């Protein structure tokens, strides 16, 4: 390993600084690096331990998100250059606002105001996974519909965890598709239905990994189900997201954005 050791030092979970480091380093495509995230570095003692570890490492590159400038200073005094979110971004924001950043404001530790809502949404997504408890569909912010293995469950969970949206998901079975109409239980909720589809090739690959060489995973079966499902989506004019080349994060961001643009 002769690449860089990229440290992401945070006084909280490190999710933000890790995400910034990855985005920025993607702009240096030839760089080889391994990533080490150090969360909860929230005292002078822990910063000193971190300092020792960094100084012991060849070719370190340090990103940080340390609310307290005194903690950031410890890195600097040890001769470690760090790219700190607050150092780099807060002064520009402060100048625009005509205010000075107050470190004690800090992160939202622990349960942020939206925390309970997000956890409720996770339970909701689990309770209304895969067509369960359809009598509660009226409580959903949105209802994902699509054939088996199109990505409904992980998308619903991500919508809940990241955005606090209550997402149910309802599978369209081959039997449903034969009826050329949506299952009756969905008809009362048309404005909140969000259709997911993807290419038959990708669906077959996903199903193949789970049930190799089954009829369920065959390209012909996938294509037939997707064609029938897409005909239904058109029939009811549902908003459709093609997930073929999208990650769950991307699908969720798009659905949330759609949600916010609704009246």
Contact 65, 47 (CB under 8 A): no
Tokens of 6: 């990229």
- Which of positions 58-117 make contact with a copy of itself (CB under 8 A)? 61, 65, 67, 81, 83, 85-86, 88-90, 92-94, 96-97, 99, 101-112, 115
- Report in angstroms how near the CB of residue 185 gets to a copy of itself at its nearest: 23
Scan residues 23-52 and list those touching a copy of itself (CB under 8 A). Answer: 23-29, 31, 36-40
The least CB distance from residue 234 to a copy of itself, in Å, is 23
Q: How far is the CB of 238 from a copy of itself (least distance, A)?
A: 20
What the block records as the tokens of 97 is 């606002």
Q: Which of 46, 117, 154, 216 binds a copy of itself (CB under 8 A)?
A: 154
**DSSP 8-state secondary structure symbol assigned to residue 37:** E
Cα separation, 140 vs 193, in Å, equals 10
Supply angle C-alpha 154, 197, 162, rounded to 5: 30
| Count, residues in the chain | 263
As a whole number of Å, the end-to-end CA separation of the chain is 54
Q: Which stretch binds a copy of itself (CB under 8 A): 158-166, 168-176, 183-191, 228-236?
A: 158-166
Which lies closer to a copy of itself via its Cβ, residue 115 or residue 211? 115
Nearer to a copy of itself, 66 or 232 (CB): 66
Q: Cβ 122 to a copy of itself, closest distance in Å?
A: 5
Query: Judged by CB under 8 A, does residue 132 bind a copy of itself?
Result: no
Contacts of a copy of itself in 196-215 (CB under 8 A) = none
C-beta of 203: minimal distance to a copy of itself in Å?
14
Our finding on whether 173 is near a copy of itself (CB under 8 A) is no
Question: Residue 189, SS3?
Answer: coil
> Minimum CB separation from a copy of itself for residue 23, in Å?
6
Q: Which stretch binds a copy of itself (CB under 8 A): 20-28, 171-179, 180-188, 190-198?
A: 20-28
Do 102 and 86 meet the contact criterion of CB atoms below 8 Å apart? no
Report which secondary-structure segment, H or E, holds 254: helix 248-261
Instruction: Spell out the residues 6+ positions from residue 113 whose beta carbon is closer than 8 angstroms to its own.
Output: none
- Three-state SS for 18? helix
Of 166-174, 212-220, 230-238, 240-248, the window that binds a copy of itself (rule: CB under 8 A) is 240-248
Cα(200)–Cα(206) distance, rounded to whole angstroms? Answer: 10
How far is 192 from 259, CA to CA, in rounded Å? Answer: 9
């Amino acid at each position: 390993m002769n690449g860089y050791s990229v440290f992401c030092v945070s006084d909280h979970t490190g999710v933000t600084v890790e995400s910034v480091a990855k985005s920025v380093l993607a702009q240096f495509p030839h760089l080889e690096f391994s990533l080490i995230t150090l969360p909860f570095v929230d005292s002078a003692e822990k910063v000193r331990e971190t300092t020792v570890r960094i100084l012991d490492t060849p070719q370190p590159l340090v990103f940080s998100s340390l609310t307290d400038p005194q903690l950031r200073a410890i890195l600097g005094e040890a001769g470690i250059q760090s790219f700190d979110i607050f150092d780099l971004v807060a002064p520009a924001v402060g100048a625009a606002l005509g205010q000075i950043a107050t470190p004690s404001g800090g992160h939202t530790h622990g349960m942020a105001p939206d925390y309970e809502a997000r956890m409720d949404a996770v339970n909701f997504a689990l309770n209304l996974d895969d067509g369960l408890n359809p009598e509660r569909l009226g409580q959903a912010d949105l209802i994902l519909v699509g054939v088996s293995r199109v990505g409904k469950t992980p998308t619903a969970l991500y919508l809940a965890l990241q955005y606090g949206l209550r997402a149910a998901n309802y599978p369209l079975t081959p039997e449903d598709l034969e009826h050329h109409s949506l299952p009756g239980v969905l008809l009362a909720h048309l404005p909140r239905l969000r259709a997911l589809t993807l290419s038959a090739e990708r669906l077959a690959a996903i199903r193949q990994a789970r049930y190799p060489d089954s009829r369920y995973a065959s390209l012909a079966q996938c294509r037939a189900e997707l064609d029938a499902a897409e005909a239904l989506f058109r029939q009811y004019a549902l908003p459709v997201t093609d997930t073929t080349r999208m990650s769950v994060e991307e699908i969720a961001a798009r659905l949330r954005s759609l949600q916010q643009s609704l009246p």
